[in-house]
Protein backbone atom coordinates (compact mmCIF):
# COMPACT_ATOMS: atom_id res chain seq x y z
CA UNK A 1 0.00 0.00 0.00
CA UNK A 2 1.80 3.08 -1.28
CA UNK A 3 -1.22 5.29 -1.82
CA UNK A 4 -1.34 9.00 -1.01
CA UNK A 5 2.44 9.47 -0.82
CA UNK A 6 2.95 12.26 -3.37
CA UNK A 7 4.94 9.95 -5.67
CA UNK A 8 5.50 11.52 -9.10
CA UNK A 9 7.06 8.69 -11.09
CA UNK A 10 7.93 5.02 -11.00
CA UNK A 11 11.49 4.66 -12.19
CA UNK A 12 13.24 1.76 -13.85
CA UNK A 13 13.53 -1.39 -11.68
CA UNK A 14 11.39 -0.05 -8.81
CA UNK A 15 9.16 -3.12 -8.58
CA UNK A 16 11.27 -6.05 -9.79
CA UNK A 17 12.03 -9.37 -8.12
CA UNK A 18 8.68 -9.40 -6.33
CA UNK A 19 7.12 -12.53 -7.83
CA UNK A 20 4.69 -13.05 -4.95
CA UNK A 21 3.29 -9.52 -4.93
CA UNK A 22 -0.47 -9.88 -5.25
CA UNK A 23 -1.76 -6.32 -4.82
CA UNK A 24 -0.05 -2.99 -5.44
CA UNK A 25 -1.87 0.21 -4.49
CA UNK A 26 -0.28 3.38 -5.88
CA UNK A 27 -3.50 5.38 -5.93
CA UNK A 28 -3.88 9.04 -4.98
CA UNK A 29 -0.31 10.00 -5.77
CA UNK A 30 0.86 12.37 -8.48
CA UNK A 31 2.34 9.76 -10.82
CA UNK A 32 2.70 11.07 -14.34
CA UNK A 33 5.49 8.79 -15.60
CA UNK A 34 6.05 5.05 -15.37
CA UNK A 35 9.44 4.29 -16.88
CA UNK A 36 10.29 1.24 -18.96
CA UNK A 37 11.18 -1.77 -16.79
CA UNK A 38 9.73 -0.10 -13.68
CA UNK A 39 7.36 -2.99 -13.08
CA UNK A 40 8.55 -6.57 -12.95
CA UNK A 41 7.07 -9.72 -14.34
CA UNK A 42 4.51 -10.12 -11.58
CA UNK A 43 3.20 -13.66 -11.72
CA UNK A 44 0.87 -13.45 -8.71
CA UNK A 45 -0.33 -9.85 -9.03
CA UNK A 46 -4.03 -9.53 -9.57
CA UNK A 47 -4.52 -5.80 -8.98
CA UNK A 48 -2.50 -2.68 -9.74
CA UNK A 49 -4.37 0.33 -8.37
CA UNK A 50 -3.30 3.58 -10.03
CA UNK A 51 -6.51 5.56 -9.44
CA UNK A 52 -6.21 9.33 -9.12
CA UNK A 53 -2.85 9.74 -10.82
CA UNK A 54 -2.31 12.13 -13.76
CA UNK A 55 -0.50 9.61 -15.98
CA UNK A 56 1.11 11.21 -19.01
CA UNK A 57 -0.14 9.40 -22.12
CA UNK A 58 2.30 10.83 -24.60
CA UNK A 59 4.95 8.64 -26.25
CA UNK A 60 6.45 7.86 -22.82
CA UNK A 61 3.39 5.67 -22.06
CA UNK A 62 4.33 2.97 -24.57
CA UNK A 63 6.38 0.75 -22.20
CA UNK A 64 3.68 0.83 -19.50
CA UNK A 65 0.88 0.39 -22.05
CA UNK A 66 2.70 -2.64 -23.50
CA UNK A 67 3.22 -4.06 -20.02
CA UNK A 68 -0.50 -3.82 -19.26
CA UNK A 69 -1.53 -5.30 -22.62
CA UNK A 70 0.75 -8.29 -22.05
CA UNK A 71 -0.76 -8.86 -18.59
CA UNK A 72 -4.46 -8.65 -19.28
CA UNK A 73 -5.20 -10.68 -16.14
CA UNK A 74 -3.97 -7.84 -13.93
CA UNK A 75 -6.84 -5.54 -13.10
CA UNK A 76 -5.99 -1.88 -13.37
CA UNK A 77 -7.95 1.30 -13.70
CA UNK A 78 -4.98 3.45 -14.70
CA UNK A 79 -6.11 6.61 -16.47
CA UNK A 80 -4.34 9.19 -18.54
CA UNK A 81 -4.39 12.76 -17.28
CA UNK A 82 -7.22 13.43 -19.79
CA UNK A 83 -9.39 10.69 -18.26
CA UNK A 84 -8.80 8.03 -20.93
CA UNK A 85 -8.10 4.55 -19.60
CA UNK A 86 -4.52 3.51 -20.45
CA UNK A 87 -5.75 0.03 -21.39
CA UNK A 88 -8.08 1.57 -23.98
CA UNK A 89 -5.27 3.29 -25.91
CA UNK A 90 -4.79 1.70 -29.32
CA UNK A 91 -1.52 0.88 -31.02
CA UNK A 92 -2.71 2.90 -34.02
CA UNK A 93 -2.90 5.99 -31.78
CA UNK A 94 0.65 5.39 -30.57
CA UNK A 95 2.12 4.83 -34.05
CA UNK A 96 2.94 8.52 -34.31
CA UNK A 97 5.59 7.94 -31.65
CA UNK A 98 7.66 5.87 -34.07
CA UNK A 99 7.77 8.62 -36.67
CA UNK A 100 10.94 10.67 -36.86
Exposure string of 37-64, with b = 16+ CB inside 10 Å and e = fewer, is ebbbebeebeebbbeebebbbeebbbeb
Q: pLDDT tens, 44-55?
A: 778 899 999 999
Q: How confident is the model at residue 10 (pLDDT cuts 50, 70, 90)?
A: very high
Say yes or no: domain 9-96 is CATH 3.80.10.10: yes
List pLDDT tens digits, range 26-78: 999 999 999 999 988 777 778 899 999 999 999 999 999 999 888 878 888 89
pTM: 0.86
The number of C-alpha atoms within 13 Å of 18 and in the hemisphere containing its C-beta is: 13
Amino acid sequence: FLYNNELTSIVEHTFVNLPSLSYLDLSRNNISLIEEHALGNFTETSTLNLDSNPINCDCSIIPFWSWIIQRASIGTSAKCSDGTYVISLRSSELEKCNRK
